[in-house]
Chains A and B, each alone.
Chain A
């Protein structure tokens, strides 16, 4: 049996209605896995860039790339090999938790406290997806109330 591998794929596609759903439909119709998906317009162009973290066998990954290419609004598909990959996470803590401990921990993961309200603290980190997972593991002891992850973005080196 072929080993499943995690891959990050970038797609440059036209900014048009339903373009994103063409991508997600393709994944669901063919039974491919999406681990995370981020999308935003490319400045000063008519294109958007999608970053998809996915997993599958070599054959499945090859099909994902080819099937993405086949979609009419898709300009380019990059399968990243050597890349810089980052993900953001925001975590809401109760106000009673130790502010300086949270601050110190967040700093270790390229983050900081970004908001303090009457009854909560919000911290933010931006790091490699694996390290973001470690951070979220580590902050469990501060009783996080809410967690949001952005999904990965990546650029080839």
Chain B
């Protein structure tokens, strides 16, 4: 069938079953937007900034497991989107980002709103395309969706010059994707899996080290079943929160820089690390030479480049973690004796009792950790929790009782302030049944505050809970600990009228000074089901603890620090 390049984009999105596109129009993408105007197969959500469009698509992708789609124009439209694309790349989120480009005849002339978009996105996408002929569009778009979702997921960028969107060509979307050069390994090597099981059976203190790859691979059920059958305890990375479920007796909370004492000690004492979809990030390992020093490593990952990149794996297994863990469970039957690990579980229990995750209450002040726990108590499973970046993010990861995968949506790898609110909008769009909470800070929330308009317009109610300490809290914490309390540019004493701000966009706002007020505000916001901002005054100098200083050893945690 003959059609224009712009029509092809719409048709391709329909064929891919896309129900939502987040975006922002502009000159170079106008032909496509003209076609968007004429269709009602999917909803276009007009964010108020291109960065937010990509974060919203990320939130949508994370909560649904589908490919998120964002659309932007050329030049500044695209460069604004880059932070979101880089964020998705670091956290392996499947996205297709379509950008307009100046007409082919103007490429390379420094034309108005021209930028080398594919040049810019090359280093922060799984793959990218500059489409120079409309006849290539069906193949390219099909490949883009396929690449984004398969293997190690990630963002794919498609840049389309304006004249290509106007060009008429044949549209045939029925041809299967044929990429001779791209064949991800999903089935792990059977011999390696067998050897890994033998190592598990011989270990005395094995430890499951669960990463975000499990959530991408929808493998949480398989991992829980494997843990239950073998009786092996597990630590979760920040990206894997919710994999085991907070009430699972085998989970030892989060590990890493702000991990629990028990999780970090378990990792330091284990004799066999079973890494599943985790990439041994520096925030997790601390000092590499001291990381799990006495342990062999089984490493299962879909990305061969992640294996032995930082920590040498004695048992490398390249494959889809869902498939590999299923295989491991089958093979472990009758070979792995949970009784063998009983003393190990006792040791972990001892670690848990020695320094449980906690905080000290202070009369007259709300502790930020309490707010997180309280949201958990009041909403628990009923909420999807997004966060921005900073102390509030770490407290959320530590104190929220996540019970399921895809419940916790946060910017892990890139650590993007301004991620939380637009992502929470995308989360709401992807899961309208649950409450979408964005836990944020008084620094982070202002980075994409314009999305209040989008959120109100499209009835995507997000409850923004600001843990307001009048500081860029995490930087302030580092300044306290490592810069002799020189609070250079982190004091945010100057504050907007939060309630007035959100109300001016048509949402509701609450200033909260007491626990009772917080409960009432959250209840009211949930009932009203509108865009809300709960500004909670929390203790100003609270630190995220435990803390492993950057480059320090996991077992050398700072457990207490009293700040005045």
Chain A interface (Cβ < 8 Å from any Cβ of B): 13-14, 17-18, 21-22, 25, 29, 59, 62-63, 66-67, 69-70, 72-75
Asked whether, in the complex, the Cβ of B118 is within 8 Å of the Cβ of A18, the reply is yes
Contacts of B179 in A (CB 8 A): 72
Q: How far is the CA of A59 from the CA of B280 in the complex (A)?
A: 15
Asked if residues A72 and B305 are in contact (CB atoms below 8 Å), the reply is: no
Contacts of A14 in B (CB 8 A): 181
| Chain A nearest CB, measured from B133 CB (Å) | 12
Contact A29 B118 (CB under 8 A): no
Q: Which residues of B contact A25 (CB under 8 A)?
A: 122-123
B127 contacts A by Cβ under 8 Å: yes
CB distance from A25 to the nearest CB of B (A): 5
Any A CB within 8 A of the CB of B130: yes
Question: Which residues in A have their C-beta under 8 angstroms from that of B305?
Answer: 63, 66-67, 69-70
Give the Cβ gap from B287 to chain A, nearest Cβ, in Å. Answer: 17
Partner of B181, one of A17, A21, A74: A74
Assembly CA distance A78 to B305 (angstroms): 16
Query: Is B181 in contact with A70, judged by CB distance below 8 angstroms?
Result: no
A-B contact count (CB 8 A): 37
- What is the chain B residue whose CB lies nearest that of A18? B118
Decide: B304 and A22 in contact? CB cutoff 8 A: no
**CB-CB under 8 A for A73 and B181, given A18-B122, A18-B130, A21-B122:** yes
Instruction: Say yes or no: A62-B126 contact (C-beta < 8 A), given A72-B181, A73-B181.
Output: no
Q: Which of B147, B303, B308 contacts A72 (CB 8 A)?
A: B147
Q: B308 touching A62 by the CB < 8 A rule? A: yes
Interchain nearest-CB distance for B316 vs A (Å): 11
Within the assembled complex, what's the spacing in Å between the Cα atoms of A70 and B308?
15
| Pair A66/B126 contact, Cβ less than 8 Å | no
A73: which B residues are within 8 A, CB to CB?
181
Given contacts A72-B147, A72-B181, A75-B180, contact A21 B119 (CB under 8 A): yes
A72 touches B122 (CB 8 A): no
Indicate whether B309 reaches chain A with its CB closer than 8 angstroms.
Answer: yes
Instruction: Supply 26 A–B pairs (Cβ within 8 Å), ascending by A.
Output: A17-B130, A18-B118, A18-B119, A18-B122, A18-B130, A21-B119, A21-B122, A22-B122, A25-B123, A29-B123, A59-B308, A63-B305, A63-B309, A66-B304, A66-B309, A67-B305, A69-B304, A69-B305, A70-B303, A70-B304, A70-B305, A72-B147, A72-B179, A72-B182, A73-B181, A75-B181
A contact residues around B122 at 8 Å (CB)? 18, 21-22, 25
Closest to A13 in B: B181
Given contacts A14-B181, A29-B123, A72-B182, 15 further A-B contacts (CB under 8 A): A17-B130, A18-B122, A18-B130, A21-B122, A59-B308, A63-B309, A66-B304, A66-B305, A67-B305, A69-B304, A69-B305, A70-B305, A72-B127, A72-B179, A74-B181
Contact with A along B294-309 (1 / 0, CB 8 A): 0000000001110011
Q: How far in angstroms is the closest Cβ of chain A from B182? A: 5
**Chain A residues within an 8 Å CB radius of B181:** 13-14, 72-75
Residues on A with beta carbons closer than 8 Å to the beta carbon of B182: 72
